[in-house]
Every structure is written in structure tokens, then in C-alpha cells.
Amino acid sequence: MRPIARWFLVDGLKPHWDHDYMVWSVEKKIAAGFALALLVIVVVSAIAYRSMSRLIGTSRSVAHTHEVLLHTGHLTSRLREAEMEERSYVLTGDESYSKRCQAAAALVSEEIQRVRMLTKDDPDQQRRLDALEPLVAEKLAEVRETLELRKSKGLEAALQGIETDREKKVVADILALITEMESYENELLRQRDEAASASIRQSFIIFAIWVLVGLGLFGLVAYLVRQDLAAHRRAENALLESEEKLRSLIANIPDVTWTSDSSGNTTFISANVERVYGYTSEEVCKWGPEMRFGRIHPDDKDSVLKAYEALFSRNARFDVDYRVQRKDGTWIWVHDRAIATYEKAGVRYADGVFTDISEQKRHEEELRRAHEEMATHATEIEQRNLHLTLLAQMSELLQTCRSLDEAYAIVARSVRDLFPRESGALYVVNASRNLVEATAAWGDTPPAERVFAPEDCWALRRSQPTLVDDSSAGVVCAHVSRPLRAAYLCVPLVAQSETLGMLHLMGLPRGSSRSDATGSHTAASIQRLAVTVADQIALALSNLRLRDTLRSQSIRDPLTGLFNRRYMEETLEREVQRALRSGASVGIVMLDIDHFKSFNDRYGHEA
């Protein structure tokens, strides 16, 4: 039996013939050719369908893993938010913090149920959730208990329930389990990405086999039919028809195929390029290298040119992602690749394919932003926890002060720790309420005025915080030096409807009075913290003044201001003990008033 006639493609789909063939009848040749072609098409189509189904399944698994990671991140954020609102409520007693804490706790439970639903087919993750749920329930129960203690028994009782060893262990166990779940999902994501890449490579291989086998079989059938019906020219025309069909098939696939030479001239591009670029294939083929590479984004152009030159100079793989401008002026992302080059008529060519990956890039950008937002929230929570700790320490120290001077020193040290970037001063209104005097200062910049009238400060006039960063955009207080080198903030100290003084902060960055959501060190966050600090200071100073007043009333005569008998008894005992230790003497001067009873009866007890 002699070999059957065969054909293959060279020089860009030009047929090359081997005329050594076996003599069969036309009917047998047609039947055998179509049967073989149908068999191969069915087999290759089945394999291709299976490969595409596997690729689709892998893509869904990757999306599912991303969703699980997103909700585990939400779980951590909600838990941190509940803990932060709990501490805020304990320190301030503000019911709004309690409500937000309870809302965050409810969201924690919802996130756990979402993660459980998403991982219901994963026994390992379900086991971790079984361990995580009781820990979260215990933590939320502790939060509710602390809220109830603060509401029913006050600050001290609630503070004793915060930061216990058991609470720290529960939080650590929760974070460890969440980290373990995220690590597990990241590993699944890596495996599924590898599986998706393998499926894509397999799809390309199957497609190439399908094209080559299809071309060969259809060419064989065409040759067998045409050799008995017409001359070699008619057979060649039939093959050109088959080539046109192949081009139409290529034009309908999602990827755009292209052929270009080493200079960058496009000699062929599939018709579906119009869906991607907005230009027809004829328009693209008329472009020169300047037009082709000039439409690439300036940030990507150099890397594309280097990869294209390496493709022809070193036969290196051309595989790049870059942005390109459509006909309507918009920018899209494409993934462009070519494996090898070939020579024809003394000119080197490369065949390649590119895909529109704009949607993929958009999802990647959304994921990156979600990670950045989660990291920002974590940083803000850490900063708020630090502020709450410092506020609690300052409040505790102020409650133990015995004099106003001690309180001023503690305020200077504590406020410096709370606002390390800013300078400032604590001003107190004098007893006559006609002057405001600086009693404490901190930072590198001293206050411009240590004593001024209350009318010189807009915050004291308006009884509300005043932030100014530009003399042209706001009214500057008279006690502040001009011109303004930085923004400043004045917060009045008010306790029991009485203005006691003012907290002054200097050195805020320019423009900080405008809204800025990119960082934690903004005017809004500084002002909120400063108001809280001012409230704590005002309450402490008011209590110290009340304590001094009560003590003075207990040891001095209200009419003359002289020390009374109670003060004498306390002082006499102290001086006697001191004399015994030092071996000194104690002298007592006594005054006897004659006829004191009659004097008292005549002029009254007060006289």
C-alpha cells in the first residue's frame, strides 16, 4: 500500500504537496477523509471542553478563596472595632460608644457565619471555626459584661475587667486561629492559581493541536476531492477557501492573533482586534512601528520595546502586560505574548497573541485597595488603643494629685506623650477671671504669650474648640504670634458650666483643617483627641479646686481667715513629734481675754 496524499503549512499557510498517493475511488476517499476528520474533531473537542470546564472551575475556586480572605479580614476588623468601642465607653461613659460596640459585636457574629457558609465544604476550616466560635463568644460576653459593669458600677469596676490575662489569651487565640485560616486560604489560592495556569497552558496546547489536525484533515479531504474533480489550481483555490475559514475562526476567538516583522510592522492581525482596540484589522496593518508602539502607555513603552527586541535578537520569550490606548482615547490592559520567530523571504517574523485583561487588573487593584484599607484600619485601632491607655494613665495620676502644681506637671508630661509632634501650653483663668495664665508648657516652641485677657482667645469667647491654619481663611487669636508658621488649636477647659482655662496646641501642619482620609494624624483626629484630653483636665482641676476649698473651710475661720482650733490640734501634734525627733522645744503663746462672755453676749458670736 502506497502512502496517502498529505499536506502541511509553510510560508504563512501556503500549501506544499506530496504527490505520492494511493489510488482509491472518489467515494472511498471522501468517506474515509470525512470519517477521520469527524473522529478527530469529536475527540479534540471533547478534550478541549473538559479542559475549559476545568479552567472555569478553577477560576471559580480562586474567586471563592478571595471572598473567604475578604471576610476573614472583615472579621478581624469588626473584632478590633468592638474592642476599641468597649474601651472608649469604659473611659468616657458615652452611650454612643456602647451602641457602636454592640453593633460591631453583632457584625462579628455575622462575619463568622459568612465564613462558615463559604467554607462549609472544607472540614479543616470548619474545625478551625468550631474552635474560633466559642473564643469569639467568650470575648463578646466579656465585652458585654464590661459594658454592664461600667453602666452599673462605674469606671473603676469596669477597668478591673479590662486587660486581664484571660482576656489577652482569648484575643491571642482568636487572632492565631484567624491567621491560621488566612494562611490556609492563601495556600489554597496559590495551588488554585497554579492549577489555573496549568489549565490555560493545556487549553493552548489543545487548541494548537486542534488547529493543526483540523488543517491537515481538511486539507487532506480537499486534496482527495479536488484531484479527481479538477486540476491542481482548482485544488489550491479550495485550500485558500479553507484558509479563509480558518482566519474567520481565529477572528471569533477571544484572543487576538498577530504577525509582525522585526521592525515592528504588523503584517496580519485577526479581525476581532476591533472589539479590543476599536480599530479594524486593516487600519492596524497600515500602522508603522511609530504608530504601533506610540499607542503604548509611556510608563510601559520601554519594557515592551526591550522585550520585543529580545524576541528577535535572542529568540527570548515575549510575554508582557502593558497599557494601550483605544481608538476612543481610553486605556486598557493587554497581556501580549509570542514564543519564537521564523524567517521568510529574508525577513524575520513572529506570531503572537494578546488578550484584554482590563477586568483582571481592575479586580487586582480592588484587592490591593482592600488590603491597604485593612492595614490602615489596623493602624488606626492601634493608635486609638495607645491614646486610650495614655488617657487612662493621665486620669489616674490626676485623681491622686494633692495640689494644682502637681496636676500642672502631670498634664505637661501626659499631653506631650499624647501629642508628640505638637508643642503646647495649659492656660488657667485666675480667680478674678480677668487674666489667663500659662501654668504648663511642652514641646520645642514656647507660647507667644504667657498671660493674656480671656477676650484675646476665640475659643474662650465662643466656648468651643477653634482650629486655624491660615490667617486669610480664619480669625487668628490675639495671643498667637504672627505670621502663622503652622496651624494651631485652642480647646476651652469647661467643667460644671464653668470655664477654667484653655488647652493650646501649636505646630500642626498646614492644610490640616481640611478633611484628609489618608492618615491618622489629621486635624479631625487631633481635635477629637484634644477635646477628650481637655475634658479630663477640666474635671481634674475642678475636683482639686473643690478639694482645696473644702479643706480651707475646715481649718480656717470664715470671718477672719485665721486658722481655727482643728488646725491647731493637727499642727500641734505634728510640731510636738518633730521636736521630739530633733530634741528642740515647742513654745505656745496663749491669749486670755477678760470678760469674754459679756463681750460675746453684747456683740455676738461672730464678733
Domains of the chain, residue spans: 26-213, 252-356, 371-552, 565-603
Which of residues 578 and 65 earns the better pLDDT score? 578
The number of beta carbons lying within 10 Å of the beta carbon of residue 343 is 9
What does the H/E/C string look like for 217-258?
A: HHHHHHHHHHHHHCCHHHHHHHHHHHHHHHHHHHHCCCCEEE
Lowest mean pLDDT among 1-10, 147-156, 410-419, 446-455: 1-10
Asked whether the domain spanning 371-552 has the same topology as the one spanning 252-356, the reply is yes
pLDDT of residue 519: 42
How far is it, in rounded angstroms, from Cα 246 to Cα 231?
A: 23
Residues 252-356: name the CATH superfamily.
PAS domain (3.30.450.20)
Domain 371-552: CATH superfamily is GAF domain (3.30.450.40)
Percent of the chain predicted with pLDDT > 70 = 85
| Residue showing cell 496646641 | 505
Burial of 84 (0-12, 13-18, 19+ CB in 10 A): buried
Q: Given a cut of 50, is residue 514 above it in pLDDT?
A: no
What is the phi/psi pair of residue 107, to 5°? -65, -30
Q: Does 494 have pLDDT greater than 60? A: yes
Is residue 30 over pLDDT 80? no
Asked whether the whole model's pTM tops 0.95, one would answer no
CATH number of the domain at 26-213, please?
Answer: 1.20.120
C-alpha cell at 16: 506544499
At 355, is the secondary structure helix, strand, or coil? strand
What is the reported pLDDT for 279?
A: 93
Amino acid at 541: L
Q: Binning pLDDT at 50, 70 and 90, where does residue 206 land?
A: confident
465-485 per-position pLDDT tens digit: 988 877 666 678 988 887 777
More confident residue, 276 or 560: 276
Q: What are phi and psi of 422, to 5 degrees?
A: -110, 150
